[in-house]
Structure 1
Amino acid sequence: MKTLKFSLASIGAASLICSAAFTATDAHAWGKIGHRITGKIAETYLTDDARKAISAILGAESLAEASTYPDEMRSNPDEYWQKTANPFHYVTVHDDARGYHADDCPPQGDGASALKDFTATLQDPEASLADKQLALRFIVHIIGDLHQPLHVGSAARDDKGGNDVKVTFFGQRSNLHRVWDSELVEHQKLSYSEFSHWLQRAITNEQYQQWNTAEAKTWIDESAEYRETVYPAQDEDPYLSWQYVYEYTPLMKQRLQQGGVRIAAYLNHVFADK
């Protein structure tokens, strides 16, 4: 099996201010179906050690169930959910050859720094079960988020990760971010269990070996590269329908597959029997 690449130091939080690509209410990656797909696919690739550790934390709760928890809690009036946790759903990348760098992280944190912090909680023998449950649910969710191209924002674009790019999707008013969060996925008219089964079954051994990395910078840089390809060419209220679905459904499927493989890769490393 290909050796896992893993580095948390390279994605640590920094104190430098970056240009935010989102506001506090913008980030809802993949929607419930997409997140559940990545969680379900991940369960296929867990090691025995990871599976036992996850069961000890979540009990009967599956990774598919856990994956949507951070979005389900966003209406909770507590300050943690209304303010603190909002930046955990995305990152912003400066547009240069280096890709994501720790200096890109704003003072309030982002998805990469939150991943690091929640991982520390999972590995802390003194952390409470409730804190570990929250950490594990967020880790599954964040990794899914970082595979949605528009959750890796561009410092050069002032469009809140595509939220300000108004489009119509099959005649219905929408925005580019929402199209990628949910509408492309829901257009398949499949349940999350059906869709995840089809996607997981299609992952070849070669693809698994190529994708099996727990290095967050790899996922982020991939999304940043893909992000620049998904913007429609039209300047005003572009009409997206069959041609857009035809062009971008393969990428949407691949990012869901990769998100599932990477969730497993990350948790397999975190819970490896040292």
Structure 2
Amino acid sequence: MKLSKFTIAALGAVTLASTANLVATPAHAWGKTGHRITGKIATAYLSVEAKAAIAELLGPESLAEASTYADEMRSNPSEFWQKTANPFHYVTLQQPHDYHADDCPPEGDAMSALKDFTATLKSDDASREEKQLALRFIVHIIGDLHQPLHVGSAALSDRGGNDVKVVFFGEQSNLHRVWDSGLVDHQKLSYSEFSHWLQRRITPAQAQTWATPDPYTWINESSQLRDEVYPQTDEPYLGWDYVYNYTPVMKQRLQQGGVRIAAYLNDVFAANSEG
């Protein structure tokens, strides 16, 4: 199998042309704490095969560590990290709630990147380093797609809420940042504390219901929530009422993101073991 050109580029093998629509790039989804929560929760739901495959690739690096790699590398000066990988953190829908092939721009998006990185992870021809990059990005992308404002709407043209200026507990911010980190950090918990609290509240029935490896489902859910999280008035101040209303939503998306990371990787590595 031929490896995707951006996977090779990330390892410094080639230089790619710049992408065209960089201004649409939103901020990082969930922030480090949120991503680590999804990675930590995922670990509890991995199959034996997936655990073994991940350990072979990452060694002592946990999924919580791996989950933030794609954001931590954004300051890397290479063409891949500065331009090519920027669109891999989000999707923009032309229709209200469903992703279609025409939604993917020429430079790619989170869905096209998820597909290509999955192919790399399954490839017999990919190097260990290429598969490590693919695995880290897959964990990150799945987390991204569970943040409602990383499923943007072309009709809104507000860069996933980045252009919606708000005041969050007296500090200038924007709606996207509130969802990336504001609601999560407001809990004043470490990622390990927060993930422990969230994971132990996931019932077996919920884990079974949520365990879909289908990204179209995750995107549809996030798009439905996206339409609900915008402030209902022109008042830019977001405080206790907003936290009260949307913290339960944030918590469930983190829980679901963790369960879905595991479901997706279980599916990938089960297919590999069967092959």
TM-score, normalised to structure 2, is 0.90
Output one character per residue of 1:58-95: Cα deviation in whole Å (capped at 9) or x when no partner: 01000000000000000111010010000000001123
Query: What is the alpha-carbon distance in structure 1 between the residues aligned to residue 188 and residue 80 of structure 2?
Result: 35
The question of 1:32 aligning with 2:5 is answered: no
C-alpha separation between the residues in 1 aligned to 2:196 and 2:230? 29
1:234 aligns with 2:233: yes
Q: Partner of 2:130 in structure 1?
A: 131
Deviation at 1:213, TM superposition (A): 0.2
Q: Share of identical aligned residues, percent?
A: 73
1:158 Cα shift? 1.1
Cα RMSD after superposing both structures = 1.4
CA offsets, 1:231-268, max 9 Å, x none? 002225x1000000000000000000000000000000
The residue aligned with 1:224 is: 223
Partner Cα separation in structure 1 for residue 70 and residue 205 of structure 2: 32
Whole-Å Cα distance in 2 between the matches of residues 167 and 192 of structure 1? 25
- Structure 1 residue runs without a partner (length 5+): 1-19
Q: How does 1:159-178 map to 2 (within 5 A)?
A: 159-178=158-177
* Cα drift, residue 27 of structure 1: 3.0
Q: What amino acid is the match of 2:41?
A: I
Kept in 2, the 8 Å contact 1:24–1:83? The answer is no
Q: Compute the displacement of 1:24 (Å).
A: 5.5
- Whether the 8 Å CA contact 1:38–1:259 is kept in 2: the answer is yes
Counterpart pick for 1:266 among 264, 267, 274: 264
Structure 2 match to 1:248 = 246
Greater share of helix: 2
Deviation at 1:23, TM superposition (A): 2.6
Find runs of 4+ consecutive structure 1 residues off by over 4 angstroms.
Answer: none
Contact 2:29 2:144 in 1 (8 A): yes
2:70 and 2:194 mapped to 1: Cα distance?
22
Number of equivalences = 253
- TM-score, length basis structure 1: 0.90
Deviations 1:198-220 (A, max 9, x none): 00000011111110100000000
